[in-house]
Amino acid sequence: MLNIPEAVHQRYQRLKSELNQYNHAYYVLDDPSVPDSEYDRLMRELQDIETKYAELQTPDSPSQRVGGKALDSFSQVKHEVPMLSLDNAFSDTEMVDFERRIKDRINLAQGQNLTYACEPKLDGVAVSLIYQKGLLIRGATRGDGSVGEDITANVRTIKSIPLRLQGDDYPELLEVRGEIYMPRDGFNEFNTKAREAGDKPFVNPRNAAAGSLRQLDSKITATRPLEMCAYSVGQYQGDQKPDSHFAMLKLLGTLGFKINQHIKQVESIDACEDYYQYLNGLRDQLDYDIDGIVYKVNDFKLQQRLGFVAKAPRWAIARKFPAQEEMTRLLDVEFQVGRTGAVTPVARLEPVFVGGVTVGNATLHNADEINRLGVCIGDTVIVRRAGDVIPQIAKVVLEKRPQDAQPIVFPDRCPVCQSSVKRVEGEAVARCTGGLFCGAQTKEAIKHYASRKAMDIDGLGDKLVDALVDHELIYSIADLYELKLEKLINLERMAQKSAENLLNSIEASKQTTLAKFLYALGIREVGEATAQTLANNFGTLDAVIAATVEQLLDVEDVGPVVASHIVDFFRNPDNLSIVEAIRNFGVQWKDIDQTAQALPLKGQTWVLTGTLETMSRAEAKDRLQQFGAKVAGSVSAKTRAVVAGPGAGSKLNKAQALGIQVLTEESMIEFLDNL
């Protein structure tokens, strides 16, 4: 250190401090305080100093999160304070019994209430982190509760784990316990890349987190999107230890740890049930998996009096949610053809209750997924359902494979029109080559065109579309505008009143927006948001039709693949003739003024949450998009405003925590009317 100029030493310490603060703001608070370019510039400066003056580098340097030399194996470590498991409760009755046992043990009158700390039970991997004089010195897995594995090199790569505690007022020795998990978005992105590379994807986010933490090469762990939430402490040597669990969590938050935003302190067992219903309703909207709720007697003195039984504390319990994974049997596989010709294998399952619903079908994605799973008809499989995600087969239980199991053969001919099935190089999906000749593609294209988010033709359901195509009354979406009453009433179960209502709805669909029409055309990979972006950027359909790949690539959210799909669609003379026919039938919209004044919200991201009372969520989204706004499903530091109605939950809380403007539905309408 003697040869290091004092100015360099001071600059290095300042860089460390600033970068650690920026890391905390970005990964723990979800509130970036500087642009990425500024962060990168400071990090490069810090690394340059460490290269020139290697003796300056310390274990808490932000540069040390990239992983080090690979290990030959993990060493074992003993937990000074055992990491215990929890007893489970699966019903209200078991929760009432849990409280009754507590009250009996501490002689608390039945009329008196206990205070509980409630927190989501994250579905990840439990870890122990030890800090000495504020510095992270060890990370370990739970193991068997008494002995775990030393994963220090791996936990150091996780950016939501502080390498040094924040502030100066921290315990001499602190053992923090928490859950390391992989958020759903990161899990889905990782699996998508794994499948594209021909690698084995993870079964679920918990499996992904566990596999990532058990890498002997910490550089691999550093590439995985892992996070950690702290939920308790083990060892604590220092003054002024908090007197309750809830207060301890608040302290951990001030020391730099990520604390789950849904923790809550309640005053009765009935309030615990209310929290269960609240979180169970919120479960599908979270960006991470939870499998229940942990309830803990809040007061540390009461915890000490209650003690432990076997390997679990008497003062805590886990209330479990319905399982999101179950085993069942694969009965058969059918191949469905979508509107773009994609041939998708659909598994027919022995019905099983999973994720709160009875599941009888699951997606198998494509031929590559069938081969990766090695699944056969007759196999016992693990079915996973999380939130609104379509149920999928996650794994085959090979130990239960029957002797008469049959391999799944992917068809080389379309199951609907018998045209050849081809797979374009570089794509995972096989497609029917029949185009509009294929009845399935025609039907799906019409269903999509008539759907609520497209042309919103009320009364034109799936069965009616099937009947119209099967009876050769329509051959394309343009033919909808030539339907006559006398033809419709001849269809089975089609009364005159229903036919009249349908024709009225078809007539009403002629007044639409450019964005809805673009979406309704069913161009591959052009969803609602992309259609609105195209409309906002080009203003007219003719401009979109004439756009080159280069012009499309200048549009936000349009990449090379989407651009080529758009160009290919409008270079097809059959598609152009259908579009022209539709316009000739009177389908129309207002072109979009391209001036900045017409799109005052361009570049802004808005979020809708809660119940809207005077308009639907879709209508509010349309209005915002017409002014150029992007409407997102989650709140981040880049969100411009949040519109919150009754029942708004976590999105509203996050917006308030980040200081983002919150509007009522009424104030949003007034704001838009005045633009």
Residue 595 has pLDDT above 70, yes or no: no
Q: Which CATH number do you get for residue 316?
A: 3.30.470.30
Give the tokens for residue 111: 């009329």
**What's the CA dihedral at 7, 12, 14, 20 to 10 degrees?**
180
Q: Specify whether 192 is located in the same domain as 314.
A: yes
Residues 179-185 have a mean pLDDT of 91
Closest Cα to residue 455, out of 515, 540, 498, 503?
A: 515
* Cα three-residue angle 197-200-206, rounded to 5 degrees: 125
Mean pLDDT score across all residues of the chain: 86
**DSSP-assigned beta bridge partners for residue 145:** none
Q: Are 256 and 198 in contact (CB under 8 A)?
A: no
Write the CATH number for 481. 1.10.150.20
| Residue 128, strand partner residues | 140, 177
Question: Domain check: are 306 and 411 in the same one?
Answer: no
Contact present, 555 and 537 (Cβ < 8 Å): yes
Rounded-to-integer distance, Cα 330 and Cα 346, Å: 10
H/E element, 310: none
Q: Is-contact 592 514, C-beta < 8 A?
A: yes
Question: Who has greater pLDDT, 162 or 616?
Answer: 162
> Which segment of 7-11, 136-140, 329-333, 464-468 scores lowest on mean pLDDT?
7-11
Residues 132 and 257 placed together within one structural domain of the fold: yes
Confidence of residue 216 (pLDDT cuts 50, 70, 90): confident
Q: At what angle do helices 665-673 and 617-626 cross, to 10 degrees?
A: 30
Question: Do residues 372 and 203 make contact, with C-beta atoms less than 8 angstroms apart?
Answer: no
Least confident of 177-191, 314-328, 381-395, 472-486: 381-395
Instruction: Compute the distance between CA of residue 668 and CA of residue 620 in angstroms, rounded to an integer.
Output: 9
Instruction: Give percent of the chain above pLDDT 90.
Output: 37
Q: What local confidence, expressed as pLDDT, does residue 493 receive?
A: 80
Whether 335 has a pLDDT exceeding 70, the answer reads yes
pLDDT above 70 coverage of the chain, percent: 93
Q: Say if residue 150 is in the same domain as residue 202.
A: yes
Q: Summarize the confidence of residues 480-490 as an average pLDDT.
A: 92
Structure-token match 């594995």, residue found:
149
- The pLDDT score that the predictor gives to residue 312 is 83
**pLDDT beyond 80 at 525:** yes
177 and 49 in a common domain? no
CATH number of the CATH domain containing 16: 1.10.287.610
Question: Is pLDDT above 70 for 71?
Answer: no
Please check whether residue 170 lies inside any domain of the structure.
yes
Instruction: Give CA–CA dist 428/333, Å, rounded.
Output: 18
End residue of a domain, out of 392, 423, 454: 423
End-to-end CA distance of the chain: 62
Is residue 595 in some structural domain?
A: no
pLDDT over 60 at 565, yes or no: yes
CA 222 to each of CA 47, 100, 218: distance values in angstroms, whole numbers, following the listed order: 17, 46, 6
Go through 410-444 and write b for each residue having 16 or more CB atoms within 10 A of its CB, e for each that does not.
beeebebbebebeeeeeeebbbbebeeebbbbbbb
**Which is more confident, 323 or 200?**
200
Question: Would you state the pLDDT for residue 68?
Answer: 59
CB 227 within 8 A of CB 234: no
Q: What would the two tokens of residue 167 be?
A: 């502030």
DSSP track, 102-140: HHHHTT--TTSPPPEEEEEEESSEEEEEEEETTEEEEEE
273 secondary structure, DSSP code = H
User: Cβ(50)–Cβ(95) under 8 Å?
Assistant: no
Domain membership of residue 407 (yes or no) is yes
154 has a pLDDT exceeding 80: yes
- pLDDT above 60: residue 388: no
Both 215 and 312 in one domain: the answer is yes
Question: Does 2 score more than 60 pLDDT?
Answer: no
CA distances from 497 to 473, 490, 501 (A): 19, 13, 6
Assess if residue 303 is contained within a domain: yes
Residues 196 and 306 in one domain: yes
Instruction: Determine the average pLDDT of the residues in 398-412.
Output: 92
Q: What is the DSSP string of 187-219?
A: HHHHHHHHHHTTPPPPSSHHHHHHHHHT-SSHH
| Pair 119, 265 in one domain | yes
92-105 vs 269-282: helix crossing angle, rounded to 10:
140
Taking a C-beta distance cutoff of 8 angstroms, is the pair 606, 629 a contact? yes
| Residue 191, pLDDT score | 86
Final residue belonging to a domain, choices 466, 492, 508:
508
Q: How confident is the model at residue 303 (pLDDT cuts 50, 70, 90)?
A: very high
Higher-confidence residue of 131 and 423: namely 131
The rounded distance, in Å, linking the Cα atoms of 264 and 260 is 10
Gap between the Cα atoms of 146 and 82, Å rounded = 5
Summarize the confidence of residues 1-13 as an average pLDDT.
78
Cβ contacts of 396-403, under 8 Å, gap ≥ 24? 397/327, 398/374, 401/376, 402/378
Token pair, residue 391, equals 């149920």
Q: What is the rounded CA–CA span in Å between residue 474 and residue 491?
A: 13
- In this structure, the dihedral spanned by the alpha carbons of residues 464, 465, 467 and 471, taken in order and rounded to 10 degrees, is 140
Report how many domains make up the chain.
Answer: 6
The answer for residues whose C-beta is within 8 angstroms of residue 327's C-beta and 6 or more apart is 352, 380, 381, 382, 383, 397
Token pair recorded at residue 437: 């000749």
pLDDT of 209 over the 70 cut: yes
- Residue 151: band (very low, low, confident or very high) from pLDDT cuts 50, 70, 90: very high
Is the confidence at residue 180, as pLDDT, over 80? yes
DSSP state of 634: S
Q: Which of 559, 519, 553 is nearest to 535 (CA)?
A: 519
In a domain, residue 71? The reply is no
> pLDDT band at residue 192, thresholds of 50, 70 and 90?
confident
Centroid of chain to Cα 92: 30
**Which residue out of 52, 69, 103, 121 is catalytically annotated?**
121
Looking at 193-202, 297-306, 471-480, which range is the least confident one?
Answer: 193-202
DSSP-based helix, strand, coil % in the chain, nearest 5: 40, 20, 40
Distance CA 94, CA 115 (A): 18
Which of 398, 423, 448 represents a domain boundary (last residue)? 423
Q: Is 133 a catalytic residue?
A: no
Tell me, yes or no, whether 589 lies in a domain. Answer: no
Query: What's residue 557's pLDDT?
Result: 74
628 - beta bridge partners? none
Q: Are strands 125-132 and 135-141 parallel, antiparallel or unpaired?
A: antiparallel
Q: Quick one: pLDDT at residue 329?
A: 93
| 122 and 222 fall within a common domain | yes
CATH assignment at residue 636: 3.40.50.10190
110 occurs within a structural domain: yes
Residue, of 221 and 66, whose pLDDT is higher: 221
Domain containing 489: what range? 435-508
Claim to verify: residue 255 and residue 162 sit in the same structural domain: yes
177 and 112 fall within a common domain: yes
pLDDT at 201: 81
Is the predicted pLDDT of residue 610 greater than 90, yes or no? no
Section 39-56 average pLDDT: 80
Looking at the predicted structure, is the pLDDT value of residue 30 above 60?
A: no
β 421-423/430-432 pair status: antiparallel
- Report the pLDDT value the prediction gives residue 33, as an integer from 0 to 100: 64
Give the number of other Cβ atoms within 10 Å of residue 186's Cβ.
19
Put the strands of the sheet holding 88-89 in their side by side order.
88-89, 316-320, 290-297, 116-122, 264-266
Shared domain check, 246 and 157 = yes
- The letter for the amino acid at 197 is A
Residue 78 lies in a domain: no
Backbone angles phi, psi at 21, to 5 degrees: -65, -45
